[in-house]
Amino acid sequence: MTYKTISAASIAALLIGASGAMAETWRYAFEEALDEVQGKFAQKFKEEVEANSDHEIQLFPFGTLGESADIMEQAQSGILQFVDQSPGFTGALIPEAQVFFVPYLLPAEQSQLVEFFRTSKAIHELFPPLYADQGLELLTMFPEGEVMMTTQEAVNSPEDLNEVKFRVMTNPLLVDSYEAFGATPTPLPTGEIYGALQTGIIQGQENPAFYIESMKMYEVTDHITRIGHSNYTTAVMANKEFFDGLSDEDKKVIQDATAAAFDYIIEYQEGLTEESLAKIQEAKPEITITTLTEEEREPFKATAESVEQKFLEIGGSQAQAILEQMKADLAAAAGGGETSSTAENEDEAAAAETPAEGEAVEGEAGN
C-alpha cells in the first residue's frame, strides 16, 4: 500500500466513514472531479443506492486519496468498496484491458459506440473473470468521450510528432501506440500533466475535450487535434470480497444503480465534446482546433495493425480471445453480425446459413 500520497485529512475522512454503522457506509473513489464525467456517474450511482437502500455512499474525487495507483490498491485491499479507473491505469494489472488502446478499434459513431458498451460479450462475459482474479468485481465499462491531442505545435501527420515528448498514461500499449505515431511517449501521473506542459518537460498529451477544458490544459498548449483514434474508456469496479458477501437484495441495488448511472452518463455526454471545445475557444481564442480529414488520418490508421500485434504479444493469456470477441461485438453494434466470435458459434451459423443442395438463395443476410 502506498500511503505517502494520502493526506491526513483523507485518512480522517476514511476513519469518519468507517465509524458508526460500517455495513451501511460504502466508499467510492474515482479519477476525476465531481463535476466531470466520472464524478457525474458516481453521483448518480450514489443517488440510486441511497434512494433504494439504507446504505450511504461516500464519494472521493481525484486527489483526495492519492493518485490512480493508490485508489486501486485501496479498492483491492477493501479500504474502498468501489473504484472507477480507466484500463489505461490497469494495463499492468489486467493486460487484456489494454485492448482499448489499439488505435481506431472503437467506432467514432456515438450510437454504435454506446451499443457496443451495452451489449459487448467481451465486456460483460470475458473481462469479469480477469478482474475477479485481481480481487475486483467489474460492474460496468463506459465511454467518456473522443480522445484528442493537445500540443505546442500543430499536428497534421505523424511526422509532426517526431521527437515530441508526449504524455501518456502508465500503460505499455499506449506507449507502443505513440511510438508508432512517431512521438516520444512519456508516462506521467495525471496530477503532473499541467506542470509538465508548463515547464516543457512534455510538449503534448491526450484526453477528452471535457477534461482538457476543466483541467485548463489549453492554457499550456496551443493546438488541439482530433485524429479520431480513440474514445476514453473507464471501468467501475467493486472490491470482490465485499461484493460477494452482500445479500442478493444489496447486489441488486448495486446492479440497478450501475445500470441507471450508465444510462444517465450516456445522456449527459450528448453534446459535451462540442460544448467543451466551445468553452476552450472562448477562453483562448487564438487556440487552433483541427479535425483531420480522412486522408490526413490514413498514416495514423496505418499504425493500428502493428499496435494490434503488439497487444497480442503483451496483452495476457486471453488477448487473442478478447480481441476477436471485441471485433465481433463491434461488428454487431454496427449492424454487421452476431456478438459471438467463437468457432463453435461460427460453425453453427455457417451450417444454418448454407443452403441445402439445390435450394435457392433468396437474399443476403445482414445490412
Give a yes or no: residue 191 inside a domain: yes
Domain range holding 339? 8-343
The tens digit of pLDDT for each residue in 23-48 reads 589 999 999 999 999 999 999 999 99
Per-residue model confidence (pLDDT) at position 343: 37
The tens digit of pLDDT for each residue in 295-328 reads 999 999 999 999 999 999 999 999 999 999 999 9
Contacting residues for 285 by C-beta, under 8 A, at least 6 apart: none
Give a yes or no: residue 271 inside a domain: yes
Nearest CA among 134, 136, 4 for reference residue 66: 4
Number of structural domains found in the chain: 1
Per-residue model confidence (pLDDT) at position 336: 60
Confidence grade of residue 89 (pLDDT, cut at 50, 70, 90): confident
Confidence grade of residue 337 (pLDDT, cut at 50, 70, 90): low
Q: Name the more confident of 335 and 197.
A: 197
CATH code of 173's domain: 3.40.190.170
Read off the DSSP letter of residue 5.
Answer: T
**What's the pTM value of the predicted model, to 2 decimals?**
0.85
Confidence grade of residue 9 (pLDDT, cut at 50, 70, 90): very low
Give a yes or no: residue 363 inside a domain: no
Give a yes or no: residue 153 inside a domain: yes
Where do the H-state alpha helices sit in 100-191? 110-119, 121, 127-132, 172-181
CA 343-344-348 angle, 5° bins:
115
Give a yes or no: residue 3 inside a domain: no
Give the CA distances from residue 49 to residues 58, 201, 252, 317, in Å, rounded to whole numbers and listed in that order: 11, 43, 10, 36
Give a yes or no: residue 94 inside a domain: yes
Give a yes or no: residue 65 inside a domain: yes
Give a yes or no: residue 203 inside a domain: yes
